[in-house]
Structure 1
Amino acid sequence: MSLPDTQKQQQPANLSITDIRNNSATLSLAATSNLSPLITAGLSQKNAIFPQSSARFDMAQNSKTSPFHKNGSLPASYGASDEPIRSIPTLVLYDDAGLDIYDAITYVEEYYLTNAEMQIFMDLGDEIMDSCVGDGGVLIELGVGSMRKTKYLLDAIVRQGKSVTYYALDLSAQSLSMALSPLASHYPTIQFVGLLGTYDDSLSYIQTNIPRPVNSTRTLLWLGSSIGNYSRAEAAEFLKRVQTIAMDTGDTFLCGIDRRNNAAIVKAAYDDPKGVTRDFILNGLDHVERILGIQDTFKRDLFEYVSIYNDDLGRHEAYYRSLVQQTLVLSATETVVLEKGELINVEYSVKYSAQDVQRLVDGAGFYWPNRWTDASGRYDVHLFQKAPFHLMGISPAKKGVPTLTEFEEIFKVWDTISLTMIPEGGHLEKPISLRHPFIFYVGHLPAFMDIQLSRCLAEPFTTPASFTEIFERGIDPDVEDPSKCHKHSKVPDAWPELTQILEYAERCKQRIRSILTAHEKQPQKTGGALARVLWMSYEHYAMHLETFLYMLVQSPNIQPPKGFLVPVHLSPSNKRTANPKPAPPSHLKAITLPPGTTHISIGHNDSESTDKTVTSVNTHEFGWDNEHPQRQAAIPESILHSKLLFQTRQVTIGEYRAFFIASKENEALRPASWTEDGNFVKTAFGSIEISRCINWPVFVSGTQAGAYSLHASKQDGKHYRVPTEMEITCYRQFLNKDIEGNYAFRSWVPRDVLPETGVIGDGWEWTSTVMEQHAGYEQSKIYPGYSSDFFDGKHCVVLGGSWATAPRLAERLTFRNWYQNVYPFVFAGFRLVCDV
C-alpha cells in the first residue's frame, strides 16, 4: 500500500514511500512493540552466557573495577565454567535517542568502521557498482541511515550513466523521508522508493513486487557491519532466508563486515575516550523503563558500561554491571534482585576472519566472488551472489546414499559446465588429443548411471539402448604411447546429435529421481547393492566434472560459466590488481605427532561382498575398491624423529615460473595450464595474465614437479623431493586444516596461497607413490577396471582435491585419485618435502 498523499507533499517526483508492513511478528531493525516480554524474560531467566574467555579479557581491560579473580576466573558465585547471566534485547538501544547517539558514534575517530566503509566506496565505488549493478538495475538497502556512505555508490552509478531504482528499508516513515528526499533531489536520474517495514516484510515484498529487471540485476545492500549484531549461526540463517526468499539466480548481495582486528583497536572503537558509546549503551536503560512503563528503576548512576573484546570468540561484548546490590521492580508482580558486580548482556558485535566469512557463505548458500578492503586492512565490503548451484551446505561429509537434493545440485553443476561453457556447435571439439570430444561425456555420465541401475535391478536400459554401447566407457591411452589403451566402448564413426543425447540424459535423470524419491520415503527397502550403485553414480558424475573442466580450459573457445560473476581481480581493466606482491614464503615445518603415535590408519572397510548385510544404507561409508580395507601403517621414521620437513603450502606459479626461466624455458617443463607464450594462465574464465596469478598454486604434471624439486635441491644445497602418499597422509591428518580449503566451486579459479594450508583445495597434490595393488585389495565386481587398469607403474597417487572437487570426494580422507605421472592437464599442484 502507498502512504496518504498528505505524506507525499514536498517530496521530489522521483521519490515514493510504500508501507509494506505485514504485522510481522519477527523483531527487526528498531522494532520495539513486542520487547516488553523479552526484557522481562531476559532479566529473570538468565538466558545469556558469559564465557570464561570473556572473564579473562574483562580482567585485563577493567582491572580496577573487575569483580573477577586475578587469574581471570569468575568468582565462586558464578561457578567454575561458562555461566548463564541476565540479558536485555539489543534492540532497546535503537530508540530515536539511541539512533541519534549512534549517528554521533559514526563520527568518533576511534570508531573506524564507518570511515573504512566510506573510504572503500569513495575509492572503489566505480569498480563495485560496475561489478554488480547494470543499466536498469535495482539496489535495495536493508536499513537506511544518514546515507553518508551510500551516496558514493550513487555517485558511481551516475558517472556510469546507468538508470537504476534505489529502494531503502526502515521502520520509520519520517526517517525514510528525511534520508531519501535530499538524495532524490540531488540524483534526479535515479528513482527512489522508501520501504516502510521490517527485514521480514521486505524479503517477501522484494520477490513479489520488485521483479528482476530484464538484462540487469537486483543487488541487496547490508552495510555498516550490521551483520555483527547476529551470532554467526543467526547471520548464516538470515542470509540463507534472504537468498531463498528474496533473490533470483544472478542477484547479488553487498555486505559490509568488520574483521577480527587487534583487540586494542576494537576495544577503543566500542569504548571511546569521549564516552559517546557509553551514552549509547546507558540510554538503553531509559528506553527499557519506557517500554515497561516504569520509572526510577534502572538508574544510570547504579550501572556502568562494561566493554570487552573477546578475541577467542571474535566478538565485542557489551554489558551493564550493577554497581550495588539492588532490586528491580519490573511490574506489579515481577521483581529481580541484582548482586553487586552482576553483569547483564545487551549487545554482541561479531567480527569475521576470511575463514569465518567462508563458513558464513557456505551456510547461506552463496557464491563469494569479490571483496574490497579499506586502506588500513581492517574492514571489508563483500559481494555475494546467488548462483545456479551450490554444493556446500548439503551435509557435504554425509555418508551413505546421496540425497535427491545432492543429485539435483550435481546435475546443475554438470549442466552449467557442459551447456553454458561451450559455444553452440562446439561439442565435437577435442581439445586434448588423448581424450574423446566433449560430446562423449555428455552421453557418458547418464549412460554409466543407467547401465549400473539396469544391471543392479535387472531392468531394461533407458532408450535408445544403443547408447550404452558407445557411452559406457571412454579412452585413457598411455601418454607416451597412445596406441596402448585399456578396454573401452566402441568409438562410432559419427556421434549422435547433441539434442538426442540431452533427451536421453533427461530420461536417465528421471529414472534415478524416481528411485531416489522411493528410497527417501522408505530407505529400509533399499538394499546395499542398489545403495552402492546410487552412491557410485553420484561420485562418477562428480569425478567427471573435473575431467570435463580441465579439457575445457585447454580450449580457446571456452565461455565463462553462466550465472557466475568473474572475480574483479581477473579483469584486464583492473590495473589495481595487475601486479600483486609475491606470496609469503613457504616455511619448512616438521609434523608434531601426538605422544606415543607410531602408526596411522589408512583406508576404510567397505567390501562389495558385504553389501547384502548392510543394515543402514544412509550411514554406511561407501568407497572405491582402492580404499578398502582399513589397515594400520607405520609412520616413517623420518616423520617420527622430525627429520622430514614439509613445505607449508603448495609451490606457486611465480616460483615455478622463475624455475622455468632458469631452465631456459625448456618446453617440456612448461605447464599445460599456461598458454604457449607463457604469459597467460588458462582458467574457467578464459586466459588470464600470469601477472595476476603469480600467487596461485601452479598446476603441473608429476614429472614437472619432480624436475622442480631437483632444481630446488641444487639451488639450496638441500634434498628436496615430491612427498610420498604416506607422508602427505600424515601431514593431512595431523595438520587437520583441510576444511578451510577452496573446493566445491567456492571459487572457479585457485586462490592465492596462504602461508600454511591443508591439502584440500585449489589443486590436487601430486605424490611420488606409484598406484599399485595393496595388501587386502579386492577388485570391484561392479566396476572391475576402476583401479586395476591403472596398476601399470606409470600412474601416481594424488590426494586432496581441487577448486572443482565435490565435497563427498574432497572431505573423505580415504579417497585416492591418480594420473599418469607425465599427464600435464589436470588441476594438480605440489609441495615439496626436505630430508634433514
Structure 2
Amino acid sequence: MSPTALKNVDAVEIVDIHRDDLDFSLVDDLYKGLNPAEGTPRSFPTLLLYDTKGLKIFEKITYLDEYYLTNAEIEILTTHAKRIVERIPENAQLVELGSGSVVLATPDPWTLMDCPNLRKIEILLRECERVEKRVDYYALDLSLVELQRTFSEISPEGFTYVGLHGLHGTYDDALSWLKNPENRTRPTVVLSMGSSLGNFDRAAAADFLSGFSKALGPSDFLLIGLDACKTPEKVYRAYNDSQGVTHQFYENGLAHANSVLGFEAFKPSEWEIITGYDEKNGRHQAFYSPTVDVTINNIKIPKGEKLIFEEAYKYGTDEREELCRNAGLISQVVFGNSTDDYHIHLLSPASLNIPLQPSQYATHTVPTLEDFQSLWTVWDVVTKTMIPREELLSKPIKLRNALIFYLGHIPTFFDIHLTRALRGKPTDPKYYKQIFERGIDPDVENPEQCHAHSEIPDEWPPLDEILDYSERVRNRARSIIEEGSANQDRCLAEALWIGFEHEAMHLETFLYMLIQSEKTLPPTGVDLPDFVKLAHYAKENEKQNKWFRIPQQSFTIGLDDSDDQALPKDSFGWDNEKPQRSVHVHAFEAQARPVTNGEYAKYLQANRLREIPASWTLVHSDQDYPTSKGINESSPSATHDFVHNFAVRTVFGQVSLNLAQDWPVIASYDELASYAQWVGCRIPTYEEVRSIYLYADQLRGIDGHTTANGHSSGVNGTHNGVNGTSNGVKHMTNGSTKTSPDMPVFRALIGCTVGFQNWHPVPVTPNGDKLAGQGDLGGVWEWTSTPLTAHKGFKAMEIYPGYTSDFFDGKHNIIQGGSWATMPRIAGRTTFVNWYQHNYLYAWAGARLVRDAPM
C-alpha cells in the first residue's frame, strides 16, 4: 500500500509505511516459538519486549551507568561528530532504524531494538546544523506513540538545515520503502545505534545488513554501532542492573504476550528469568523458564526448560570483519570510545554497477560524480577487503613499491593536479608529495636502472592517516564536481579526468600485485564463481579457432584534441593518443581468439620448458615435475598428468589449470612471441590490432556477430606457402585499399569481459568462430609487437611530461584492449595506448596469432 500521512506532531510529518498486520504476526511468531519444528529449541519473540510500556522502560535502561552501551555511543558521537558529518553527503537522507521487525531467511528471526531516542542522534544533527549541511532525518519505529513522543521533545524550528520526519513501520517496511525509486532520489545514510544488530545471531545479522547493502548505491553509507566488550562481569551487569530496571523490562515481555494472545498464558508466578554471558560465543543471553510444568493452548512446556528471548552478540575485530564480508559491505572508518570496547562503523555497500554502453560510461568529457563513486567503490573493495591490513606493507612483486604506497599515491597524485588547476594549496599533509607522487617501475633486466621516482621512506605513514587524507582529497573532488566549474574550465576538467584515469589504471596494478600474494582474499560482495560449470560449458561449446582474412584498410588512429583552450569534443587523452593520424595496413590473416592456457601448456610440454607464466603456479612444491614425452605441435593437447601440475592464480585462489585450459593465457610478450614462433606465426603490430578491431566491428555491423570470412585453413598457426613470421610492419600494397570510416572514440562493450563484469578471465574457445574485437579477448589485454616510440607529431604532455617519454627505451611494447579489471572509459576508448616491458611477467595481457595473407 502507498504510504499515508497519519499525523503531524509539532510540524513533523509521520508517514505510515506498514504493509502487514503486526499483531497477527506476533501471535503467529509466538506460537511458532512455543511449538517449533522437531529438533528446534523453543523461543520467545524478542519483539514482545517492545510495546509502548516496554519502550519506556528500555529508555530508562539507557540512562543507567551499568548499561554502558548508550554512554559509549554518546562519547563516540560527541568526540567524532565533525568527522562523521564530513562523511555524510550533502542533501542526504538519514534513516535511523528504531524498534521493528524484519523477515529474514532464518527459522526464528529476532528483532533489532533501539527506539530512535534523539538524545544520541541529535549530536549528529546539531553538527550538520553547525556546518550548514542540508540533510533530512527519518526516525523509524513500530510504535506511533513513541515516534510522537520522540519528536515532541525537540523543536523543528530549532533547525534550518535539518529536516525531521517519522516513519511508522518495521525494518522490513523500511527496506521496502528504501527500494522504492521515489524515495531514492538522493544519497542515503542508514543508521543503527545501540548495538541493535547484536540481537541477531551472526549469520542473521549479516543477512539483515546484506538486505540494506543491496538496496543502497555507491553514494550511500551505513552507520552502525557495535558493542565490542567481552569482559564477562561488565556485560553481565549491563543486563542485570542493581536497580532491577532490566528485570522489569523482561517481565513486561510476558505481560505483553498475554495482551497479544488475549488471555493470561504466562502467569508471572510460574516463570523465572535467567540471564548469563556465553564467553565461548561472545554473547549475552536471556531466557524465560517455567518453575512448574505449564500448558499453553495445548502446548506442554516442562519445568526448567529455557526459552530464549534475547541475545546480544559482541563484536571483536575478527567478528566485525567477517560481518562486513558476509554482508557485502566495506569498512570505511571505525570510530571508537576511550576504552576501545565500543565502536561506530561507517560502512559502504560493495555492490557494483558499471555500465558498458558509451552513452552511460562516457556521458560527459569529464567523469561525473557517479563515475567517480563507482570507481571509488571498486577501489575500496580491492584495497580494503582483499588484503589484511598488516599485509599492506608487503611487496608481492619485488619490482614494485609496497602495496601501501598505492593507497597514498592515488590521492596524492590527484591532489597535485587539483592544486595545480585551482592554483591553490595542497591538502595536508603537504610532505606526502615527497613520498607518494610517483612510483617505481625499474628495468626488469637491471632493477638498478629506473626512471625518476619519489623517495621511499624508512617507514610509511600510518594507514588510518593515509585513508583519512584520501577521503579529504575525494571530498575536494566532490566539491569541484558539484559546483560545476570544471564544465567551463579545461585545466580543472583535465585535472579531474587525469585523476580518474590514473586511479583506474592503478586499480589494475594493485590487483595484479595481489594475485601474486598468498594472503589475498576474495572480493567482498562477489559470489564465488562455479569454475567447474564454466569449464564444462567451454568444452561442450568449443569451436575451431578460425583464421580471418583482414582486408587492407586505411583509417585514422589517435585522438583529435588540437584546441588546448576548450574542452575536447569527446574525451581528454594522454600524450601518446595524440595527434590523430592516418594509417594504411596491409591485408593479413588473424585468428579469432587469443592463445589459451591449454595451448600454452602443450607448447611447454612439447619443448620440455620449465619456466611457467607468472599467472600460473605449481600445485605442489616439487619443481622437478615430469615432462612427458611424445607431445609435439600436432598433438591435440598437453597430457593430463602434465596439466595436473599447475593452477592459475585468481582473486578467488588457485584454479586448477585443467579447469582453466580454455582461458586466455596471461604471459609476457617474450613468452608469447616464442610460442607464436613455435607455431610458425607472429604477434600482430599495433596497427594490425587496430585493423582487426575495426574489421571485427564491421562484421558485427553486417550480421550482429562476427563470422568466418576469407581463408580458414588450419587452426594451429601453420600456413602453407606463407611466411608466418614476417615483421608485420604497415605498408601499402598493390591493389585496392579499403577506406574505412573513422573509429568512434568510444565503443560499446556489451558481452566483453571488462569493467568487473567478471573477476577473472573467461573461456574463449566457444568464440573460435567470431573475430574478437576491442576488449573481447576473454578478460585480458592484447600484446602487440610494436615497441613504444615517439610517433610523428608526438608531444609530451605539459602536466605529466614523463608519462610516456620515460619509456621510449625500446624495451616496452604497446598493448591494446583491456582486462576484466579495466574500467570502460579506458577499455572502450579506441585511442587509448597502454604498454609494458616486453619481458614483464605480471601484466594481464595475452596474444592472438597473425600471419601474412597468401599472395
Could you state the TM-score of these two structures normalised by the residue count of structure 2? 0.52
Paired residue for 2:773? Answer: 758
- Answer yes or no: is 1:391 the counterpart of 2:354: yes
Which of these residues, 659, 666, 688, is aligned with residue 692 of structure 1?
A: 659
For 1:802-813, list aligned pairs within 5 A.
Answer: 802-813=819-830
Which of these residues, 666, 673, 676, is aligned with residue 706 of structure 1?
A: 673
For 1:486-497, list aligned pairs within 5 A.
Answer: 486-497=451-462
Does the CA-based 8 Å contact 1:588-1:645 persist in structure 2? no
Does the CA-based 8 Å contact 2:531-2:659 persist in structure 1? yes
Does the CA-based 8 Å contact 2:666-2:845 persist in structure 1? yes
Distance 1:4 1:815, change over 3 A: closer
Deviation string, structure 1 residues 43-95 (Cα, Å, up to 9, x no partner): xxxxxxxxxxxxxxxxxxxxxxxxxxxxxxxxxxxxxxxxxxxxxxxxxxxxx
For 1:497-512, list aligned pairs within 5 A.
Answer: 497-512=462-477
- Answer yes or no: is 1:798 the counterpart of 2:798: no
Distance 1:582 1:548, change over 3 A: farther
CA RMSD of aligned residues (A): 4.2
Displacement of 1:395 in angstroms is: 1.7
- Answer yes or no: is 1:724 the counterpart of 2:685: yes
Unaligned 5+ residue runs, structure 2? 1-17, 34-100, 111-170, 185-189, 223-327, 329-348, 620-644, 701-748
User: In structure 2, what is the Cα distance between the partners aligned to 1:794 and 1:783?
Assistant: 21
Q: Classify the secondary structure of the residue corresponding to 2:617.
A: coil
Does the CA-based 8 Å contact 1:702-1:766 persist in structure 2? yes
Displacement of 1:771 in angstroms is: 0.7
Paired residue for 1:24? Answer: none
Q: Classify the secondary structure of the residue corresponding to 2:391.
A: coil
- Answer yes or no: is 1:529 the counterpart of 2:540: no
Paired residue for 2:383? Answer: 418
Q: Classify the secondary structure of the residue corresponding to 2:393.
A: coil
Which of these residues, 396, 400, 404, is aligned with residue 435 of structure 1?
A: 400
Distance 1:812 1:481, change over 3 A: same
User: In structure 2, what is the Cα distance between the partners aligned to 1:797 and 1:402?
Assistant: 25
Distance 1:200 1:441, change over 3 A: closer
Paired residue for 2:725? Answer: none
Distance 1:723 1:505, change over 3 A: same
For 1:42-441, list aligned pairs within 5 A.
Answer: 163=107, 214-216=202-204, 387-392=350-355, 395-441=360-406
- Answer yes or no: is 1:539 the counterpart of 2:498: no
User: In structure 1, what is the Cα distance between the partners aligned to 2:471 and 2:179?
Assistant: 34
Q: Give percent identity, aligned residues only.
A: 38
Which of these residues, 607, 611, 617, is aligned with residue 564 of structure 2?
A: 611
Which of these residues, 540, 543, 548, is aligned with residue 590 of structure 1?
A: 548
Which of these residues, 659, 666, 669, is aligned with residue 603 of structure 2?
A: 659
User: In structure 2, what is the Cα distance between the partners aligned to 1:722 and 1:13?
Assistant: 72
User: In structure 1, what is the Cα distance between the partners aligned to 2:667 and 2:584?
Assistant: 30
Distance 1:203 1:419, change over 3 A: closer
Paired residue for 1:602? Answer: 557
Displacement of 1:165 in angstroms is: 7.0
Number of aligned residue pairs? 491
User: In structure 2, what is the Cα distance between the partners aligned to 1:634 and 1:542?
Assistant: 32
User: In structure 2, what is the Cα distance between the partners aligned to 1:635 and 1:785?
Assistant: 30
Q: Classify the secondary structure of the residue corresponding to 2:519.
A: coil
Displacement of 1:589 in angstroms is: 3.0
User: In structure 1, what is the Cα distance between the partners aligned to 2:177 and 2:479?
Assistant: 37
Paired residue for 2:591? Answer: 647
Could you state the TM-score of these two structures normalised by the residue count of structure 1? 0.53
Does the CA-based 8 Å contact 2:102-2:172 persist in structure 1? no
User: In structure 2, what is the Cα distance between the partners aligned to 1:248 and 1:452?
Assistant: 28
Does the CA-based 8 Å contact 1:535-1:622 persist in structure 2? yes
Displacement of 1:739 in angstroms is: 3.6
Paired residue for 1:323? Answer: none
Displacement of 1:11 in angstroms is: 12
Distance 1:11 1:564, change over 3 A: closer
Distance 1:461 1:666, change over 3 A: same
Does the CA-based 8 Å contact 2:385-2:523 persist in structure 1? yes
Q: Classify the secondary structure of the residue corresponding to 1:721.
A: coil
Deviation string, structure 1 residues 625-675 (Cα, Å, up to 9, x no partner): 000111111121x2xxxxx221111111111111122121331xx110011
Distance 1:512 1:712, change over 3 A: same
Q: Classify the secondary structure of the residue corresponding to 1:425.
A: helix
Deviation string, structure 1 residues 695-719 (Cα, Å, up to 9, x no partner): 1111000011111112222xxxxxx
Displacement of 1:748 in angstroms is: 0.6
Distance 1:598 1:782, change over 3 A: same
User: In structure 2, what is the Cα distance between the partners aligned to 1:137 and 1:706?
Assistant: 59
Distance 1:701 1:164, change over 3 A: farther
Does the CA-based 8 Å contact 2:535-2:763 persist in structure 1? no
Does the CA-based 8 Å contact 2:421-2:491 persist in structure 1? yes
Distance 1:470 1:402, change over 3 A: same
Displacement of 1:435 in angstroms is: 0.4
- Answer yes or no: is 1:683 the counterpart of 2:640: no
Does the CA-based 8 Å contact 2:576-2:794 persist in structure 1? yes
Does the CA-based 8 Å contact 2:788-2:808 persist in structure 1? yes
The amino acid of 2:468's aligned partner reads E
Paired residue for 2:235? Answer: none
User: In structure 2, what is the Cα distance between the partners aligned to 1:557 and 1:687?
Assistant: 12
User: In structure 2, what is the Cα distance between the partners aligned to 1:441 and 1:10?
Assistant: 55
Distance 1:516 1:4, change over 3 A: closer
Distance 1:11 1:558, change over 3 A: closer
Displacement of 1:417 in angstroms is: 1.0
Paired residue for 1:734? Answer: 695
The amino acid of 1:611's aligned partner reads D
- Answer yes or no: is 1:772 the counterpart of 2:795: no
Unaligned 5+ residue runs, structure 1? 16-135, 141-161, 167-194, 221-239, 250-366, 368-385, 639-643, 714-719
User: In structure 1, what is the Cα distance between the partners aligned to 2:25 and 2:449?
Assistant: 82
Distance 1:712 1:219, change over 3 A: farther
- Answer yes or no: is 1:816 the counterpart of 2:769: no
The amino acid of 1:589's aligned partner reads W
Deviation string, structure 1 residues 756-785 (Cα, Å, up to 9, x no partner): 333305000001111111011111110001
Displacement of 1:432 in angstroms is: 0.7
Paired residue for 2:616? Answer: 674
The amino acid of 1:453's aligned partner reads L
Does the CA-based 8 Å contact 2:535-2:662 persist in structure 1? no
The amino acid of 1:663's aligned partner reads N
